[in-house]
């Protein structure tokens, strides 16, 4: 290596002669003129760590020359909350409440991958009732629609198009209404549990789903009409933040970013889980490999997800009532939930049974809730297609009631590595476009 | 590595691991509860829990073919490079000696019959009871061409926690290796810029290690004091 010079993205080198200017706000042209007048050669700008146009708390360090970005570096870790460490101190079931909070706009995708991993460790993958699998697919697809709408909506908002955001968020709220009716919560649902899901559909669940689908489709149509013919949006997004297939492969990029280069890689097709092979849907792709094509792909995926939601609704109607949790009482969560006059809560029938009728049922309930269930020693890797790409989990069990190690491969963490290659040589204003088109959520990146 | 004499009755049986030589000691559990001196009568219980041990051929599915091709490509180094092979729960794990890791990755990526184009990161695991092999680095590799996934595992001693970086073969592992350095203190030799990534640059210690406390303070609730999560009496 040659001698190291001071460099925005290299190692820190102490240079007492380097002039330094600290600027708080002000007119950008004046700052640039002032720097030029003083003969300043390089300008390093910190974007963040609390910038409204980043998805969470992200710090981007830019070295710029005029309006051109010459070096980019992403600084993460501001939202690190030690979720993986905390999970080692809770039972396998309690872990769901932690992993659902990582990427908070795609909560149930993370619950799903974590529970599928536990079920693989337990060897009960084939014992999950069909109704539970259909509900899981339903929730995963509603989550995908919500996540994509946030990606597209905030992406528009970051460019100043607030209407794109409000339209997208109204559409997302329609999915939330049904999600809340079924799971009890809008986000961070803790709905998908090891062995199944926490509860089945409410009485009018099918009707609510049927009413929701056209509303969401109408919002998607509105969003498409608002975006696709918009000349300003086209100028801002087309041929911006390009990333070709070889760069994607080198950087391990998955999800809509990879599919925008023409590779139809989607784990729902290549490695189906929860019975995805039995649903009729397409994997949209594009070969334009720019921010525009990623946005269009996300919209197309929302339509495909809506098709799956429709099929799930039909199946749930056919399946009728039935178990949503594995039959093994040593694993199945004993508590039952029911809708009461004050919202959701414990089922009164279940409370009456354990408190008034059966001592053994009370002991069983108490043991399973406080102690949890043992998972045989070993390790597994489980991956699913999250809204943002390949979402993986590595689980290690020491045979006890808690994970020995739970490690999540958040697609955003991996994909954010591409920020440099997408921004360098481009305009400062396009950095925001690149960040939006990666669509990472820093809660998931930092975990 | 531990010898076979460690195995004891009462070890929870993993699926399809019967009769195998246990190789990775995950944990030694003492007593039935987190608190010592409990009155349950299970105070003196000692459980040695192992990972499923090495598998015998045939491994099944496509596993034999991949191991054969890799052995052929590695030539004379194969015996040293592949420590042992584990097939468990339908997943293939190759335990690799660290000095051969980069060569193994290169073959796995480049050979047309292997073609594991993507590394899905590196997950560190700390096994403090596994003397001499305390820190493990686990690399899930994904082949898009053949739609397969396998796992490489490298074990190193706590006092000599150095593993060659695979970023020359899999550039996508750049941040993942930084994360594993940050959380476990495994040094990836040859990494272009092995800085902390999640914790602040001046942080002391590696938080995901088992001897690193979770932290937290006792909380008072209605007159009773609830200890922090890692200090609580708990089931083992």
Which helix (H) or strand (E) is B84 found in, with range?
Answer: strand B82-88
Regarding whether A249 and A366 lie in a shared domain, the answer is no
Residue B180 phi/psi, 5-degree rounding, is: -70, -35
Q: Is residue B203 predicted with pLDDT exceeding 60?
A: yes
pLDDT tier at B15 (50, 70, 90 boundaries)? very low
Q: How far apart are CA A300 and CA A292, in angstroms?
A: 12
Domain boundaries, chain B: 54-230
Q: In this complex, which of A270, A370, A377 lies closest to B12 when CB atoms are compared?
A: A377
What is the pLDDT at residue A218?
Answer: 94
Bond before B58 cis per omega within 30 degrees = yes
- Verify whether the Cβ–Cβ distance A381 to B11 is below 8 Å: no
Residues 6+ apart with CB under 8 A from B16: B52, B88, B89
Check if A401 contacts B (Cβ < 8 Å): yes
Query: Which pLDDT does position A23 carry in this prediction?
Result: 62
In whole angstroms, how far apart are CA B80 and each of A346, B54, B97, B101? 58, 15, 7, 11
What the block records as the tokens of B133 is 């092999």
Report the pLDDT value the prediction gives residue B33, as an integer from 0 to 100.
66
Which of A344, A372, A400 corresponds to the end of one domain?
Answer: A372
Interior CA angle at B38 toward B25 and A371, to 5°? 65
Q: Is A262 on the interface with B (CB under 8 A)?
A: no
Is A417's CB within 8 Å of B174's CB?
Answer: yes
Q: Is the Cβ of B115 closer than 8 Å to some Cβ of chain A?
A: no
Assigned domain for A102 exists: yes
Q: Each residue of A361-418: pLDDT tens digit?
A: 898 888 888 888 889 989 999 999 999 999 999 999 988 889 999 999 999 999 999 9
- pLDDT tens track for A284-331: 999 888 999 999 999 999 999 999 999 999 999 998 888 889 888 888
pTM summary value: 0.87
B88 in reach of chain A (CB within 8 A): yes
- pLDDT tens-digit map of B31-49: 766 555 566 777 777 878 8
- Pick A376's closest partner by Cβ from B12, B90, B207: B12
Torsion of CA A87, A93, A97, A102, to 10 degrees: 50
**Mean pLDDT score, B182-191:** 91
Question: How deeply is A323 buried, as exposed, middle or buried, from its count of CB atoms within 10 A (0-12, 13-18, 19+)?
Answer: middle
Considering the domain architecture, whether residues A141 and A216 belong to the same structural domain is answered as yes
Q: Nearest by CB to A265, which of B120, B144, B214? A: B144
Q: Do A304 and A201 share a structural domain?
A: yes
Residue B235 contacts A where some CB pair is shorter than 8 Å = yes
d(CA B174, CA A258): 19
Average pLDDT on B79-90 reads 88
B152 touches B141 (CB < 8 A): yes
* Pairwise CB contact (< 8 Å): A86 & B229: yes
Contact B125 A404 (CB under 8 A): yes
Q: Are residues A257 and A338 in the same domain?
A: no
Domain count for chain A: 2
Domain that holds residue A352: 332-372
- The answer to whether A120 contacts B120, with C-beta atoms less than 8 Å apart, is no
User: How far out from the chain centre does Cα A341 lie?
Assistant: 33
**A34 located within any domain:** no
Q: End of a domain among A319, A344, A372?
A: A372
3-state DSSP call for residue A34? helix
Contacts with B121 from chain A: Cβ below 8 Å = 252, 392, 409, 414
Which residues does chain A have within 8 Å of residue B95's beta carbon, measured at their own beta carbons? none
Same-domain check for residues A365 and A406: no
Per-residue 3-state assignment (H helix, E strand, C coil) for B164-201: ECCCCCCHHHHHHHHHHHHHHCCEEECCCCCCCCCCCC
ipTM score: 0.85
Query: How many residue pairs bridge chain A and chain B with CB atoms within 8 Å of each other?
Result: 143
Nearest to A417 among B27, B50, B175 (CB): B175
Check whether residue A368 and residue A387 sit in a common domain: no
Name the minimum distance, in Å, from the CA of B191 to any CA of chain A.
Answer: 13
pLDDT score at A52: 53
Would the CB atoms of B88 and A400 count as touching at under 8 Å?
no
What's the pLDDT at A10?
47
Domain end, chosen from A349, A372, A395, is at A372
Using DSSP's 3-state secondary structure scheme, residue A358 falls into coil
A300 shares a domain with A156: yes
Residues on chain B touching A10 (C-beta within 8 angstroms) = 193
Within A285-402, strands assigned E span: 337-340, 343-346, 378-386, 389-397
Per-residue b or e along B184-203, where b marks 16 or more CB atoms closer than 10 Å to that residue's CB:
bbbbbeebeebebbbbeeee
Regions of chain A where pLDDT drops below 70: 1-28, 31-32, 34-41, 50-54, 340-344
The top-level CATH class assigned to B54-230 is: alpha beta
Mean pLDDT, range B124-139, rounded to an integer: 90
Q: Assign B8 a pLDDT band (cuts: 50, 70, 90).
A: very low
CB contact under 8 A, B144 and A263: yes
What pLDDT digit, counting tens, does each position of B95-123 carry? 999 999 999 999 999 998 899 999 999 99
Residue for token pair 């210690």: B205
Residue in A with minimal Cα distance to B207: A85
> Which pLDDT value is given to residue B163?
93
Task: List CB contacts (< 8 A) between B13 and chain A.
Answer: 376
The length of chain A is 447
CATH number at residue A105: 1.10.645.10
Whether A40 is in a domain gets the answer no
Residue A123 lies inside a defined structural domain of this protein: yes
Residues 74-133 of A with CB under 8 A from B: 76-77, 80, 82, 84-86, 88-90, 120-121, 123
* Calpha distance A423→A432 (Å, rounded): 9
How far is it, in rounded angstroms, from Cα A296 to Cα A285? 10
Give the Cα separation of A118 and A326 in Å (integer). 13
Q: What are phi and psi of A399, to 5 degrees?
A: 85, 0
- Establish if A77 belongs to a structural domain: no
Q: Does B72 touch chain A (CB under 8 A)?
A: no
Which pLDDT does position A24 carry in this prediction?
Answer: 61
């Amino acid at each position: 290596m040659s001698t190291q010079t001071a460099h925005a993205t290299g190692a820190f080198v102490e240079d007492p002669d380097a002039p330094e200017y600290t600027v708080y706000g002000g007119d950008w042209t004046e700052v640039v003129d002032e720097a030029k007048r003083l003969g300043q050669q390089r300008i390093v700008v910190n974007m963040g760590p609390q910038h409204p146009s980043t998805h969470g708390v992200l710090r981007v360090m830019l070295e710029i020359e005029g309006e051109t970005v010459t070096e980019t570096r992403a600084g993460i870790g501001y939202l690190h909350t030690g979720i993986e460490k905390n999970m080692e101190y809770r039972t396998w079931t309690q872990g769901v409440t932690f992993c659902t909070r990582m990427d908070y706009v795609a909560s149930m995708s993370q619950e799903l991958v974590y529970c599928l991993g536990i079920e693989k460790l337990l060897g009960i993958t084939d014992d999950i009732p069909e109704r539970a699998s259909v509900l899981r697919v339903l929730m995963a697809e509603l989550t995908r629609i919500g996540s994509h709408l946030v990606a597209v909506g905030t992406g528009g908002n970051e460019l100043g198009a607030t209407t794109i955001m409000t339209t997208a968020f109204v559409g997302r709220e329609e999915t939330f209404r049904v999600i809340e009716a079924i799971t009890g919560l809008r986000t961070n649902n803790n709905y998908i549990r090891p062995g199944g899901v926490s509860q089945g559909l409410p009485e009018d669940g099918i009707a609510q789903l049927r009413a929701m689908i056209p509303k969401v489709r109408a919002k998607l149509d509105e969003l498409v009409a608002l975006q696709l013919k918009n000349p300003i949006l086209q100028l801002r997004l087309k041929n911006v933040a390009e990333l070709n297939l070889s760069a994607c492969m080198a950087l391990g990029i998955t999800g809509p970013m990879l599919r925008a280069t023409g590779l139809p890689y989607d784990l729902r097709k290549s490695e189906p889980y929860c019975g995805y092979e039995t649903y009729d849907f397409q994997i949209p792709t594009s070969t334009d490999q720019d921010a525009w094509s990623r946005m269009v792909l996300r919209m197309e995926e929302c339509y495909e997800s809506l098709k799956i939601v429709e099929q799930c609704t039909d199946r749930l109607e056919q399946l009728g009532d039935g178990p949503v949790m594995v039959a093994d009482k040593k694993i199945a969560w004993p508590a039952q939930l029911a809708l009461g006059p004050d919202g959701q809560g414990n089922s009164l029938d279940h409370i009456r049974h354990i408190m008034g009728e059966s001592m053994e049922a009370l002991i069983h309930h108490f043991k399973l809730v406080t102690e949890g269930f043992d998972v045989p020693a070993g390790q597994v890797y489980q991956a699913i297609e999250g809204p943002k790409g390949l979402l993986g989990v590595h689980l290690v069990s020491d045979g006890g009631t808690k994970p020995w190690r739970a490690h999540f491969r958040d697609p955003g963490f991996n994909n954010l590595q591409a920020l440099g290659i997408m921004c360098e040589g481009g305009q400062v204003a396009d950095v925001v476009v690149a960040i939006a088109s990666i669509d990472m959520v820093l809660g998931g990146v930092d975990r | 590595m531990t010898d076979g004499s460690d195995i004891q009755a009462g070890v929870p049986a993993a699926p399809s691991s019967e009769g195998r030589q246990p190789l990775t000691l995950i944990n030694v559990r003492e007593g039935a509860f987190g608190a010592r001196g409990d009155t349950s009568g299970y105070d003196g219980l000692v459980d040695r829990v192992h990972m499923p041990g090495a598998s015998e051929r045939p491994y099944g599915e496509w596993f034999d073919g991949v191991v054969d091709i890799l052995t052929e490509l590695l030539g004379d180094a194969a015996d040293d490079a592949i420590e042992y092979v584990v097939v468990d729960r339908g997943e293939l794990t190759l335990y690799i000696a660290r000095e051969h890791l980069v060569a193994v990755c290169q073959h796995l990526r480049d050979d047309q019959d292997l073609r594991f184009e993507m590394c899905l990161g590196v997950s560190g695991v700390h096994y403090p009871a596994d003397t001499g092999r305390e820190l493990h680095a686990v690399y899930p590799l994904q082949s898009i061409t053949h739609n397969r996934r396998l796992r490489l595992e490298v074990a190193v001693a706590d006092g000599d926690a150095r593993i060659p970086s695979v970023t020359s073969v899999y550039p996508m592992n750049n941040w993942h290796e930084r994360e594993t350095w940050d959380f476990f203190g495994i040094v990836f030799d040859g990494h272009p810029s092995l800085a902390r990534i999640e914790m602040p640059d001046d942080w002391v210690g590696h938080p995901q290690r088992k001897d690193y406390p979770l932290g937290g303070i006792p909380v008072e609730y209605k007159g009773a004091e609830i200890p922090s999560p890692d200090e609580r009496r708990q089931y083992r």
